[in-house]
Amino acid sequence: MDVQQQRDEAQRTLRTIHDAEQIIADRAHWPIGYHAVCALLVGLMVAMPGLPRELRGMAPIAIVFGALALKTWSDKRHGFIISGWRRGRTLPISIGLVGVIGVGLVCGLLAKLRYGVWWPFLPIGLTVGIATFFISLMWERALHADMERRRG
C-alpha cells in the first residue's frame, strides 16, 4: 500500500467517524418533557423525607420506575443513554447538579435537627427540581457544544 492509498484510507476513516458523530449529535436532542421528568424525579428524591409516611414508601418505587422509563425511552429514541460523567463541558455541570442536590438534602436535614420538622424537605425538593430542570437544559447545550467543538 503506497502513501496515497494510506491517505485515502485515513480520510475515509475520518469521514466515517465524522458521520457517526453527526448521527449521535442529531439524535441527542431531548424534548422539554424529558428535562421535566428528570427534574420531577430529582425533586421527588430530595422531597421524599418530607412526604407523609404513607407516600414516603412509594416515592423510591416511583423514582426507580421513572428512571427506568426515561432509560427505556432514551434507548428507543436514541439507541443509547448519555452519561453525565463525560469529559468536557458537561462534567462541571453534572458535578454542580450533585452539589445542588447535596445542599438541598443538608438544608432539609438541618431543619429537621434544629426544629424537629420534616416539612422543609418539600419546598427544598421543589426548588431542587426547578434547578434540575434548568441544569438539565444547560447540560444538553454543553453536550452539543462539545460535539460541535470535536467536529469542527
Q: At what angle do helices 32-47 and 90-115 cross, to 10 degrees?
A: 30
In a domain, 4, yes or no: no
Q: Please give the tally of structural domains in the chain.
A: 1
Look up residue 138 and give its three cell numbers: 444547560
Q: Is 93 within 8 Å of 82 (Cβ atoms)?
A: no
- Residue 80 — pLDDT band, cuts 50, 70, 90? low
Better-predicted residue by pLDDT, 19 or 63: 63
Each residue's pLDDT tens digit, 10-36: 888 888 877 776 766 666 678 899 899
pLDDT of 81 reads 63
Each residue's pLDDT tens digit, 132-143: 999 999 998 888
In a domain, 14, yes or no: no
Determine the structural domain holding residue 106 and report its residue range.
Answer: 31-151
Better-predicted residue by pLDDT, 80 or 95: 95
In a domain, 23, yes or no: no
In a domain, 107, yes or no: yes
Note the helical H segments in the chain.
3-27, 32-47, 53-56, 59-78, 90-115, 121-151
- Residue 152 — pLDDT band, cuts 50, 70, 90? low
Backbone angle region of 120, left / alpha / beta, with phi > 0 → left and psi within -120 to 50 → alpha: alpha
